[in-house]
Each structure stands twice: as structure tokens, then as C-alpha cells.
Structure 1
């Protein structure tokens, strides 16, 4: 699917290639992976139906093959469910093979709770409105990272010192393809470097 979407893009910036996948991947995910728990439940119900038929004395090779295929499919969805929750939890134990979906589900839920800013003091007043909090945080970082137009920039408290021209020029040099690839391949594959949720394994493969 990725190859198909990228085929007609031509030679474009890598970030544009990633953005081009946003909608197709969303559709693909909805089509193939929506509601993993419900899919597992359906497979388990089908397996139970086959077992009930066998218990009633009706058993043949076709029934055995059907049960084997249902079990194989169900196990595949168990693995997908584990991977899903391990990635969301970002747990250091994500490489472990043992199945403990509830554990990773709890870690992911705890991360969401811990990362949520429920209230913020803005101009001396305690604010709980989420929309106002988002605006205040965005404006704070806009001011923090605003670059002055003037060439003679002054820094408070001496936190940042002026670098020499030679060092400044070195900082502008683009890294080589080999340096970029080495940096990417040194990253752990299950980790996602940004909020777009593309993990390093996807980037290495594609």
C-alpha cells in the first residue's frame, strides 16, 4: 500500500511523502485493524461454536481444519493487540514476548492521565478550561522561541553565549546521507520520534 501511494509522487521531500500517507493509512487502519477487541471476540465465539458442534458428536476433518484456521487467526489478532498496546504504552518492556495486554493498557492509561494538564495558573488566576490552557501554552512557547530580527541578539542571565564564526558555519552544514542513516538505525525500532506515530521500524522499512 505504501509503495502504491508513493509511486506517483516523484522526487519530493521525505516529509511530504509521510504526509501523503496520512489519509490512506487512516483508511487502511480502519479497514483492517478497527476494534481489535471485537474481532478477537468474534473469533473466540466461532471457536466455541465449533467446540459445541464437536461436543455433540458431529466431528470430521473439515471441522478440524476450520477450528485450526480459526485458532490461527485468533492468535494473530492476539499478537496485534499486544503490539498495539505495547506501542501506545511506550513501555521499556515492549520487546518482551509474554502476553500481558492489561498491564500495557494500564501503563498507556496512566501516561495519558499524567500527561494531561488539568489546570494552569495564567496571569495569577487558576484556569481549568482546556481551550484556554492550550492557547496559553502555545503563546508561551511562541514567545520563548521567538527569534529577534536584530543581528545583535542579547541573552538574559548569560545562558547562551555567542559562538565563533567557524563554529557557526559548521553548524549550518547539512549532515550526509550516511550520518542520517546511522542516526536512524541507532534508534530503537518500536519508538516513534514524533507525534505522527510513525515508528522507527516503519521509517527503516520504507
Structure 2
């Protein structure tokens, strides 16, 4: 998916697309410019994204469709933010309305013409009212502002520089693509840096062993560990730890598996009993079964919450709403932010993961 802002084109034809995309196997939609002002263009691979619907305004372009490979229905919204506060408020209101119509995970991208932190504009020591409006809109929409890993600013003009180009995604998007990351491309002759979003996770080598707190809530866990440990005999301690990863993995897959599926199964059984009671079927056996199901379901709720608390490593879990999507988002953001995508070595910016690992090890 390629989004271009400020095309300054009143007309885009099928002959223009291959010159930009490289071939004619692409879908596209555009918003015409007002003279030499503005203009938006979205281009996508027809085999990768199947469009179902499109809507547009003066400063935004929305395409709904399916990411075929992932069977994921979503919307891409290209934005060119206004300059005046009143006009910005109109744009935010229009985008809120469009998202309400779409009712699918969304990815906003483009030039928003607004900052979120004072650090995002050189020489600024306070946020303008329009920035507070933008922050409130992001909060109300429940979207996440993805960080850029390799640069501080995206727009330059003389001594002025700001981060006004960004990508915002819904929580559902991050749940599907938790490793979505941003980095900037070369600016060239433009005063904006292109923003590149990637969702593919690179291999980082073997992951360290980690036990999960939720395992200890299962009645079979310690017994299984003792039996497997005895079965490894008199091997070295570190070798036994390494050999335990196989049995632990199999046990986890068998006993825990898909946490959401297990919880859903208990909830469905509880609903069946509630429906039966609603139809007048109720006795001691029914009540006992319902209590047993509720007890089991509560255990799996606790295990799921423990899992995401540990993964998120949040220090504020006691003071916030116990919402597993929140912890899921924190865990994903932590994984994205902790990754070293580039390293400045002797004045040169190195992006090769193999080279970065060697330099860190040698240091």
C-alpha cells in the first residue's frame, strides 16, 4: 500500500499509475488537488489487497477491503491535515464519522500537520491548543501512534523541523500485526521524509527461556516438572534446564493452548445453563454444574490476566483497569520499542542485524 500526499494533481489516470508503481497490476484511488494545493493518491497491489469500498473528503481518502493473505478486513485512511485549528477540528470530526461507518480495524497514515509532544518540534516549549485537540482525538478514537525508530523529525524547512508525518493504528490492528514498525526513508528533494511501515518480524536468533507465572496456577504443573526432572537423571544442571524446554512446551500446548478458546467454551456452557434456567429447568444438579463451570472459568480469566501482566511488565497494573487488550498493547509496544533497528558505528548508520549483533558483542 502506497500513500502519496500533496500530489498537486487535479487528474490521475491509469497511465500515471505504472510510472509510480512499476507495473499496471495495481488498484488505486485519488482525491484531486485544488489547483496546485493538496491532492491524495493511494495505490495497492490487487493481489494483496481487495478493495470493497472507498470514501473521500477534501483532506482524506479511505479505502476498505481485505488483506487477502491474512483474511483481514480493514481500512486504510490517507490524511492531509489542515493548518488552522478550526479546519483541523473539522477533519478530526469527519475521520471519526468515517471510522464509525467502517466498523473495521483502521490504519491512518499521512501528514497530520500536528505534533503530540513538545519534543516533536524544534524550538517549542509548549503545545498549541490544536495539539491538545489532536491528542484528545487520538484518545477518543482508541488508536496508537506508532514510534519512528530511526529519526526524530519528518519535516524540514530551513531551521524548522517537526514530526508531523505519522501512522496511527487501532488496537485490533496491533493484535493482528503486533510487530508493525516505522522507519523513515531518504528525504531527497522533498521537505518531508517518507514513512515506511513494516509488519514482518525479523529473526533475532534463539529466544531466552522464560517461565510464565500463569503456569503455577495449574494443579498439574509442579507435578509434571518434578517427574520430567527426575527422568533426566544425573545430567549437568544447565543441560537439564535446556532439556526441560521440550516437555514444558508440550505441556503448555496441551494444558493451556488457546486461552481465549478455553474461556469461550466455558462461557458457552454457562450460557446453555442460563438458557435452561430461563426455560424453567432448575434443580440442585443444574446449580452445582453452573457453580463448577463459573469456578473453572474464573481460573482461566486469572491465568489470562497473569499472562498479559507478565508480558506487559506494567508497573501500574494495580492502578488501572484490568483489561487484557491494554496489556496486550503494552507488550507489543515494548517489543517494538526495545528492538535495535539501526546503530551508529564510527559515524556510519548500520542496519544489518548481523553486523549490529557483532558490534554489540565486541563492545
Aligned to 1:55: 278
What is the aligned counterpart of 1:8 among 231, 250, 253? 231
Q: Given the superposition, is the C-alpha separation of residues 39 and 8 from structure 1 closer, same or farther in structure 2, using an over 3 Å criterion?
A: closer
Q: Given the superposition, is the C-alpha separation of residues 103 and 97 from structure 1 closer, same or farther in structure 2, using an over 3 Å criterion?
A: closer
Q: CA deviation at 1:9?
A: 2.9
* SS in structure 1 of the partner of residue 231 of structure 2: coil
Aligned to 2:290: 67
Relative to its length, the structure with more strand (as a share) is 2
Asked which structure has the greater RCO (Cα within 8 Å, sep 6+), the reply is: 1
Aligned to 2:264: 41
Task: Provide, for residues 149-198 of structure 1, a one-character-per-residue CA deviation record: whole Å limited to 9, x for no partner.
Answer: xxxxxxxxxxxxxxxxxxxxxxxxxxxxxxxxxxxxxxxxxxxxxxxxxx
How many residues are paired up? 139
CA contact (8 A) 1:5 1:20 kept: no
- Mapped partners of 1:93, 1:125: distance in 2: 36
Aligned to 2:358: 139
Aligned to 1:148: none
What is the aligned counterpart of 1:107 among 327, 330, 336? 330
**TM-score when normalising by structure 1:** 0.59
Structure 1 unaligned segments of length 5 or more: list them: 145-206
- Mapped partners of 1:11, 1:97: distance in 2: 47
RMSD: 2.5
Aligned to 2:306: 83
- Mapped partners of 1:119, 1:125: distance in 2: 6
Relative to its length, the structure with more helix (as a share) is 1
* SS in structure 1 of the partner of residue 280 of structure 2: coil
CA contact (8 A) 2:313 2:331 kept: yes
Task: Provide, for residues 31-85 of structure 1, a one-character-per-residue CA deviation record: whole Å limited to 9, x for no partner.
Answer: 0111101111111111111101110111111111111111011000000001100
Structure 2 unaligned segments of length 5 or more: list them: 1-223
